[in-house]
Structure 1
Amino acid sequence: MSLRVGLLGTGPWAWKAHAPALAAHPDVELAGVWGRRADAAARLADEFGGRPYGDPDALIEDVDAVAIALPPALQAEWAAKAARAGRHLLLDKPLAATVEAAREVVAAVEATGVRSVVFFTLRFDAGASAWIAQQAAAGEWFTGRADWYGAVFSGDTSPYADSPWRREKGGLWDVGPHALSVLLPVLGDATEVHAARGQGDLVHLTLRHASGASSTSVLTLTAPPAGAGVAIEFRGAPGIATFPDGVSGPATDAMARAIDALVAGEPHPCDARFGLRVTEILAAAEEALR
């Protein structure tokens, strides 16, 4: 029997990743779409299937699971409500805009026993996740770095440039979760969090990890387009491990693997609890910046 999924959200990421992956998945039925703009929900449903809903509560009532492509504050609100209604959750990063809201999601998940998967892109990409697992298995790392130089607000082609929450929260909250999703499984949980500001929204994040290793991250959405990119590296007893170019595939393939995890029903490392831990570290960095 197919898992009936309702999609909440109609922004660029819903069009690029959620809707096409849900529509193509053999074990899922995209049952309906709700968005804050009814016309966008109608267009998305017409393109990928299901029917548009004018009431998100009605959509949650009609499905087995919800996929959420909304800003973090709204995601946390609707994720907690859906979980309390017994609906499984396919969520995006960051889980929430505050630690308190993230804890509400986890509390609802734990109270009802629903499944949760948070889509950290590299952790579901086949090539990237294999590379991360290889570094985690190697161990004995002395230090690592995971730098995300985004040009969302400094270029002129990003579909995410109209995102109010990204303008408010900056690279720390948008690409910071990507960096943490690589560093934490390899080096262990963060035991110390430090941060300093650079130009624009740029944040230098420095962590001490449970393994004893340290790490740094440069996080921004306002890098000059010519200087944009991602750099990930670990150094230690195994030598130097650098994230290889061209290893990552399309976002829809990674999203399909996240849907696989939700359908399978087995606990996944990237669940709401991991999403909460990432939110706690981001909030600690934000506090350090103050």
Structure 2
Amino acid sequence: MTSRQIKQSGWGDKWPAPAKLNLMLRIVGQRPDGYHLLQTVFQFVDLCDWLIFHPVGDCSISLKQPIPGVAEVTDLTVRAAMLLKAETGCAQGVCIEVEKNLPMGGGLGGGSSDAATVLVVLNQLWGLQLPIEKLMALGLTLGADVPIFVYGYAAWAEGVGEKLEKIEPLEQWVVIIKPDCHVETREIFLANDLTRDSKSITIAEFTAGQHQNDCVDVVSRRYQAVENALLALSEFSESRLTGTGACVFAQFASREAAVNAYEVLKKSWQVYLAKGINKSPLLSKLEIGNT
């Protein structure tokens, strides 16, 4: 394959793996297998990891820069590629390069987004032509947040997060704080004091302002850094937890107001300034590439 053919096909391109926010999270029940039944709203933000896919001459799956001390086969991007090969019998291989920008353990979905980008892009580069519904189902076996990144649109989600309905919340400016701690999602969902019987609401009720996160009290009691971040951000706008954290965020109607909060908070915190977006930049790049 010539360099021109590689470029035209998408090999060697930088592919985005965007972050997400949970604009609301209600736990409305629990299945017999222990999984929690949720209502949540996903929206993307324009913060991204970037993945580059390099062609190889055999059927191997590898990382260009493996994480020290972590076996490649346990890396979520490698697992996603191997799952796609196993499902389709594809005999091609790939070397995956990851430019990591999203904080780990922050509730922004970085690992899940990376895995989704692998599924979506390799489905195209390898010429597999699996429908999006199949890619979403494969993604769900890797993690509950993977399907939303495959789906590519802001969504109202139910079930364990896999039942998605496209919606269009306001695309506002966002300031995100990453506290200096790592919140274990499993710990929060196993907590005895976690609310598991919230009343289900409608999309209209969310739009009208009902956007509580049932995890916030449990997380704040266990992680002082998260509580402190919520308090710091609340000086500028309503502060909220995304997923089980650790990241907290606030929305702003103007860039000026967001920048003002960002400039003050960055003196004491790890802070990100971003824009909420309803269409994943991965989907946008795919559409441009296919026109």
TM-score range, shorter chain: under 0.3
- TM-score normalised by structure 2 residue count: 0.25
- TM-score normalised by structure 1 residue count: 0.25
Query: Normalized per residue, which structure has more helix?
Result: 1
Which of 1 and 2 has higher RCO (CA within 8 Å, sep 6+)?
Answer: 2
